[in-house]
Amino acid sequence: MPVRKATVDRSEPSPASGQLPKLRIENLSCRFGDIQALHEINLTVEAGEFVCILGASGCGKSTLFNIVAGLQKATSGNIHIDGANVNEKPGHVGYMLQKDLLLPWRTVLGNITLAAALTRGTRDADKEQARELARKYGLGDFLNHYPHTLSGGMRQRVAMMRTVAAGRPIMLLDEPFGALDAQTRLGMQQWILEIWRDLGVTVLFVTHDVDEAIFLASRIVVMTPRPGRIAEILEVDLPRPRDFDSLTTPTFVELKRRIMRHLYGKDSDHG
């Protein structure tokens, strides 16, 4: 009997690798009284992805993050992390809120170790980890400074380090660079890609800046105005490491045009 050669049929979906998606958002809707904030959001994020979320103000991006973080109840739908339902169960993700919310009476070190302080008390190992993170990511000279003595960019770095120090494999970052000037922002974008690459974490990142989204993301989720739905999910097929030349390639320009059409309804030269 002839031996049949095993072949892989590329038209078939690849067999389950046994690995569950890192995060699955399933039929998620959220209503506040008369306001429908989110409508039937479905999104699967694989481990190690960098997903940017773009959408008009008020389309529900922060609401989506609050629900994924377990801080807010959805009207319907489910959140799964590594296959487990985590609806209304906080503590599974690192979350950097839209406002940096550093505690003014704690030093940089005290702010970075906040998660440990709040849960089980800060240990020497937490402080050592915080010092190491701070040194590695450019805050080493500021560990004993108080937030009011830092620039906006430094404050955002501290807030980001606090999120990293919480040690969760998924990080939700809600407009972390929104308040920064353009030049500081460019440095921060390079910096966050370095952290993402070093730590192998899964990142969901809200921004209003289309260039920033394309520069950072593996995929971009474009949302409709309220009620927020997913308008389109775009793959960002730009090689890494990316640099500022990536922002002028035909792939970049075409992606930007598509996103602008969603956000502004026509070709646009905004941004």
Examine residue 35 and tell whether it contacts ligand ATP (CB under 6 A).
yes
Tell me which residues in 87-146 interact with ligand ATP (CB under 6 A).
Answer: 98
Instruction: Compose the 17-56 pattern: x for residues touching Mg ion by CB under 5 A, - for all others.
Output: ----------------------------------------
For ligand ATP, the binding residue among 63, 111, 122, 189 (CB under 6 A) is 63
Examine residue 226 and tell whether it contacts ligand ATP (CB under 6 A).
yes
Out of Mg ion, ligand ATP, none, what residue 226 binds, judged by CB under 5 to 8 A for its kind, is ligand ATP
Q: For residue 166, count CB atoms less than 10 angstroms from its CB and return exposed for 0-12, middle for 13-18, buried for 19 or more.
A: buried
Q: Specify whether the CB–CB gap between 158 and 112 falls below 8 A.
A: yes
Closer CB to ligand ATP, 35 or 118, in the complex: 35
Q: What single letter denotes the amino acid at residue 218? A: S
Give CA–CA dist 203/193, Å, rounded: 10
Tell me which residues in 50-79 interact with Mg ion (CB under 5 A).
Answer: 61-62
Give CA–CA dist 119/114, Å, rounded: 9
Name the pairing type of β-strands 219-223 and 230-235.
antiparallel
To ligand ATP, the closest distance from the beta carbon of 221 in angstroms equals: 12
Out of Mg ion, ligand ATP, none, what residue 58 binds, judged by CB under 5 to 8 A for its kind, is ligand ATP
Concatenate the DSSP letters of all residues of 102-131 into one string: --TTS-HHHHHTHHHHHHT---HHHHHHHH
In which element (H, E) is residue 23 found? strand 23-32
The number of beta carbons lying within 10 Å of the beta carbon of residue 179 is 15
Give CA–CA dist 147/117, Å, rounded: 18
For ligand ATP, the binding residue among 28, 52, 54, 59 (CB under 6 A) is 59
Closer CB to Mg ion, 61 or 185, in the complex: 61
To Mg ion, the closest distance from the beta carbon of 269 in angstroms equals: 25
Out of Mg ion, ligand ATP, none, what residue 244 binds, judged by CB under 5 to 8 A for its kind, is none
Residue ranges binding ligand ATP (CB under 6 A): 32, 35, 37, 55, 57-63, 98, 226
